[in-house]
Amino acid sequence: MPQISTADFKNGITLDTPEGLFQIVEFQHVKPGKGGAFVRTTLKNVRNGAVLDRTFRAGEKMERAFIEKKEMQFLYNDGADYVFMDTSTYEQLSVAPGSLGDAKNYLLENMTASVQMFGDEIIGVELPASVDLPIRDTEPGVQGDRVSGARKPATLVTGLVVQVPLFVGPEDVIRVDTRSGEYITRANG
């Protein structure tokens, strides 16, 4: 793998360290009046999401990991794993739920997503900013339930529970923010 110097650090670059794969979230070059320069970084483990602060000496070399992004279609959940298909080669790939993180709460069958791969390992899934998901179960909406700010829980077809306004019913499709997991609006009018 290619080496990268601390002078080449940018937000979003992934490093292959002995502790695992880490993505640079934030970095700062520091040149104190006394002593050598150093780089203070905030790193996020791409496999488990843990965040850590680490300091590198200026000019220190690290292994850079190249993350490939592939457009893949989510086919189905076979109980234990999620099955994706590469849209260019039609190869199918089974993925453990742990590799998907929170993305599994927003995946519907036949949905296309950008899958991040390191070699043959899936390390993440990029979803659109919002997705439309049908509600599996919630209390029915009643005419006149328009109290501002009042919410009730709704279970979506993916199993995710979202707080929705009182007027949303069990037959509705709602738009959910994939970054925060919050209700945005009704998608079926």
48 with 92, same domain: the answer is no
pLDDT for residue 175: 92
Of 53, 50, 109, residue with least CA distance to 77: 109
Domain residues for the domain of 114 are 68-126
Tell whether 10 and 50 lie within a shared domain: yes
pLDDT computed for residue 28 by the predictor:
92
**CATH number, domain at 110?**
2.40.50.140
Query: According to the model, what pLDDT value does residue 12 have?
Result: 85
Q: How many domains does the chain have?
A: 3
Place of tokens 């490093």: 15
So what's the pLDDT on residue 141?
64
C-alpha angle with apex 150: 149 to 152, nearest 5 degrees? 130
Cβ neighbours of 120 (radius 10 Å): 6
Whether residue 52 sits in one domain with residue 39: yes
Provide the pLDDT for residue 26.
Answer: 93
Amino acid at position 160, single letter: L
Q: Which of 16, 39, 65 is the last residue of a domain?
A: 65
Select from 134, 136, 128, 150 the least CA-distant residue to 186.
134
DSSP state of 13: -
What CATH number should be reported for the domain holding residue 11? Answer: 2.30.30.30
Furthest C-alpha separation in the chain: 71
Q: Are residues 138 and 176 located together in one domain of the fold?
A: yes
Identity of the amino acid at 98: G
Task: Give yes or no: residues 42 and 16 share one domain.
Answer: yes
Three-state SS letters, 73-100: EEEEECCCCEEEEECCCCCEEEECHHHH
Shared domain for 45 and 26, answered yes or no, is yes
Cβ partners under 8 Å of residue 99, min gap 6: 47, 121, 122, 123, 124
Q: Judge if 158 and 110 occupy the same domain.
A: no
Mean pLDDT by 10 residues, the chain (189 residues): 84 87 90 88 85 90 88 87 88 82 86 86 84 87 64 88 86 89 82
Per-residue pLDDT reduced to its tens digit, 45-67? 887 778 899 999 988 898 998 88
Same domain for 117 and 146 = no
110/162 same-domain check? no
One domain for residues 154 and 182: yes
pLDDT tens for 62-94 read 899 888 888 899 998 887 888 889 888 888 888
For position 101, what pLDDT does the model report? 77
End residue of a domain, out of 91, 110, 126: 126
Domain boundary among 126, 142, 167: 126
Q: What angle do CA 186, 142, 153 make, to 5 degrees?
A: 55
In whole angstroms, what is the distance from residue 25 CA to residue 2 CA? 20
